[in-house]
Amino acid sequence: MQRTEALARISDEPGHTTRLFASPAMRRANKLVGTWMSQAGMSTREDAIGNLRGRYDAAPGSPCGDKLFLLGSHLDTVRNAGRFDGALGVLLAIGCVEALHRSKLRLPFALEVVGFADEEGVRYQTAYLGSKALAGGFDAKDLQRRDGNGLTMADAIRRFGGNPGALRQARLSPRNLLGYFEAHIEQGPVLEKRGVPVGVVSAIAGQSRVSLEFRGTAGHAGTVPMGSRQDALAGAAEFVLAAERCGVIATVGVLEIKGAASNVIPGCVHLTLDARDANDSRRRLAVSRLRREAQAIAKRRGLRVQWTAVQATPAVACDNALSRRLSECVARQGIKVVNLPSGAGHDAAVMASITPVAMLFLRCAGGISHHPAESVQTRDVKLALDVMVDFLHAVGRALDEPQPGADAPHPFPLPIGWGEGGRRPGEGLSHAANAGPERARALPGQRHSAPARRHS
């Protein structure tokens, strides 16, 4: 818990916690967290995009010594963030390795702890940059995106000490991966209401991010009659209300009036839409209806609207076999097993495109998150750590279990099309820039949106 406080003090903005991708605060955060990783017995490095990676080798002579299990979460934050979103998952992962190291224990497989460089997508408006680089879903076109100060992502990565030309080297081959595990605060009220300290995540909602601009005509606030205005903000306001009624979880989180002044009719407004649902078809339908609604609003008001799809990430189901083992570990602590879906996005959603994933949620006070009041109980954190260490041992035991009919046993069977000769790393992702259809593992009761693409 002291570490979460030390990390929260590392910020790009004075007085509160804001750590943006490839920023000076991230540089200091990686240094500090890297020190903790080294103290826990890991060898550390930073990859080409700035993910912090700590490795704890397998037991010498283990027949599965080339296999790798990943633990992680993100070290970037939203603006004016709490202390636990992302950071807690990384610190718990380090805590697990520390516990093994203190007991002079090595697992039959190697562990890698990842502090992802960007999950929130605050600086470049597109999320999961760190995990996309690892999973192979990074789109090189994103390197030309500019931040609020006009700095391209490529230059920001270079300034940070990374190498935008070598992002492919950050990729992990799915062949040797056993799985990915992420602990995270729940960011919602369910666990607190159910009176349990931790819960097992069943699925992560898909999300769409859109950037919009309404353009009208700026004019004098005192002279242009109300009936002959093309007020871009009035159009944007109608769109905000349409988003509120669209039938899925939807948020307009950015609303910027260009050249705003109290005596000028707004001529141009930029806004963002973030839409989420566990059902991909429902989300896509809601977003396309909102697009038509934006066009209708613009037509009625004599405005022009520009709609730019920024990102679309499909819903992801957590792996059944890994989650079952995780549930057993929760039950062994005498805790009632609660399964719950995640409305928030997590690095696990991207990692699921190359390896089976499992997630553990920790209850947080009042379900508050993306806010400085984020809070968790120390005893819940201790319990989560015990669950995680037990889980890693369970993953090790699973390697010894016979897998009927398999030459090279994989204890957590990959979905059809994964692994060697199957789906490419990162292929489960989709965003506007690579213009592919979203592909993901179907959630229960949901059909695949598109057949899995095969590669020769």
Binding interface with ligand GLV (CB under 6 A): 120, 344-345
Instruction: Pick the closer one to Mn ion by CB: 341 or 409.
Output: 341
For residue 256, CA distances in Å to 105, 211, 237, 305, 311 come to: 54, 11, 12, 14, 20
Greatest C-alpha distance within the chain: 83
Q: Which does 280 bind (CB under 5 to 8 A by kind): Mn ion, ligand GLV, none?
A: none
Instruction: Pick the closer one to Mn ion by CB: 359 or 389.
Output: 359
For residue 232, CA distances in Å to 70, 240, 251 come to: 47, 12, 19
Burial class of residue 207, CB neighbours in 10 A (0-12, 13-18, 19+): buried
Quote the least distance from Cβ 76 to Mn ion, whole Å: 9
Instruction: Pick the closer one to ligand GLV by CB: 177 or 201.
Output: 201
Q: Which does 139 bind (CB under 5 to 8 A by kind): ligand GLV, Mn ion, none?
A: none
Contact 115, 90 (CB under 8 A): yes
Quote the least distance from Cβ 186 to Mn ion, whole Å: 11
Q: Which does 345 bind (CB under 5 to 8 A by kind): ligand GLV, Mn ion, none?
A: ligand GLV
Q: What is the dihedral of CA 324, 328, 333, 335, to 10 degrees?
A: 60
- What is d(CA 319, CA 69) in angstroms, rounded to the nearest whole number? 14
Q: Which does 142 bind (CB under 5 to 8 A by kind): Mn ion, ligand GLV, none?
A: none
- What is d(CA 409, CA 251) in angstroms, rounded to the nearest whole number? 44
Instruction: Pick the closer one to ligand GLV by CB: 116 or 138.
Output: 116
Q: Which does 89 bind (CB under 5 to 8 A by kind): Mn ion, ligand GLV, none?
A: none
Instruction: Pick the closer one to ligand GLV by CB: 209 or 363.
Output: 209
Quote the least distance from Cβ 405 to ligand GLV, whole Å: 39
Quote the least distance from Cβ 197 to ligand GLV, whole Å: 21
Instruction: Pick the closer one to ligand GLV by CB: 184 or 363.
Output: 184
Applying CB under 5 A, which residues contact Mn ion? Answer: 85-86
- What is d(CA 146, CA 234) in angstroms, rounded to the nearest whole number? 28
Quote the least distance from Cβ 345 to ligand GLV, whole Å: 4
Quote the least distance from Cβ 343 to ligand GLV, whole Å: 8
